[in-house]
Amino acid sequence: MDGRWDGLRAEVRKTIDELVSSGAEAGVQVAAYLDGRPIVQEQAGQADATTRRPLTAGTPVHAVSTGKGLTATVVHVLTEQGRLDYDLPIAEVWPEFARHGKDRITLRHALTHTAGLPALPADVTREDFTDWERMCSLLADAEPLWAPGERLAYHAWTFGWLVGEVVRRVTGRRISEVLADEVAGPLGVPGELFLAVPEADLPRLARLEDAGLSAMIAYAAEHLPNFDAVAPPGVRPDAAIGSRPDVLRADVPAVGTMSARAVARMYAALLGPVDGVQLISPKRLREVSAVAVRAEEWVFGQEATFGLGYAVDDDGSFGTAGSGGSLAFAYPQLGLTVAAVRNRLGAGDGDPMEQLRILIRDTVARELGQ
């Protein structure tokens, strides 16, 4: 790696070593790419506290909604290939979806969380999540809460099946297979970037621990009137559901499993070439990373900003973050991507992965004179 980033790497390494040694974290991975080349790849701690298996750079970690960025990237790659269109009415390729007046909902609405279908039945189970046909049937039968584009509501779980079924209908393949063939494989990270984890790879995963996430979710369910509509009690996005082998093996493309270095590499290939692989054109990059909707969001009651499948931040970055503290973001103006994952899912802990993102972003911007 470029020697001018030795100081940054040392600071990241010191920070995560302290987080682990203090007991605040079990295992952490942090990675960053600049102009298509890795500048940070640091990890510390254990993948499994029971066996004391170390967390390596290539250990996949279930990273909850950070996986939405993988799903969105599949869409953009297929659109770049001319196989999808953002304004495709979903019912055009999924006729059953047209029920209850949903014929005007487009792929763009799904990507921007404005499809009007954020809710799941209150009695949905984790076992239901392993049945793709059942979950798609639920959405095909669902009545939208409002007209497409009318409101912004985080489609916490439904995002995955809405987008994933469009991909399946167009390609004839599960979205996890498309990710493997069109993204992870070409980038040389086939064992580190998953929407559905193959059975053989399950033993390699980091073991998740709860460190306040469940309590935070319970608090949100009690105080936010729409929270249980999008994440019913049986399927809350916590360490318990993220540890189930049957759910991990299934296509649930609102969430994903990844190493920090693999997802940082994926975002880098959105910005430009990485070892000769460039996922989308500069023109498409501008389109997918631009603000598509900014409004008060229905679930959390705060203003939120989305591009096409990614959150867009005020600092010029786009990407996704997951409950419990994982994240992956790209900074087009800097040519920088940053990812951090942890296997101790926390809340109310000062968001240390976000602090690491800020450290890397600010150090790079300062070095580049921006």
Give the span between the Cα atoms of 15 and 21, in whole angstroms. 10
Tokens 């580049």 belong to residue: 368
The helix (H) or strand (E) run that includes residue 289 is helix 282-289
CB contact at 8 A, 339 and 28: no
CB contact at 8 A, 120 and 157: yes
Q: Which of 22, 65, 243, 259 is labelled catalytic?
A: 65
CA trace torsion 65, 67, 73, 74 (10° rounding): -120
Give the span between the Cα atoms of 234 and 211, in whole angstroms. 19
Tokens 């040519």 belong to residue: 335
Q: Is 137 a catalytic residue?
A: no
CB contact at 8 A, 278 and 187: no
CB contact at 8 A, 143 and 97: no
CA distances from 337 to 143, 179, 263, 271, 318 (A): 38, 19, 9, 9, 10
Side-chain-side CA neighbours of residue 117 (13 Å):
33
In 3D, which of 164, 157, 344, 188 has the Cα closest to residue 261?
188
* DSSP-assigned beta bridge partners for residue 29: 43, 341
**E strand intervals along the chain:** 27-34, 37-48, 53-54, 61-62, 193-194, 209-211, 257-258, 293-296, 303-306, 311-312, 318-321, 327-331, 336-342, 344-346
* DSSP-assigned beta bridge partners for residue 295: 304
By annotation, the residues acting in catalysis are 65
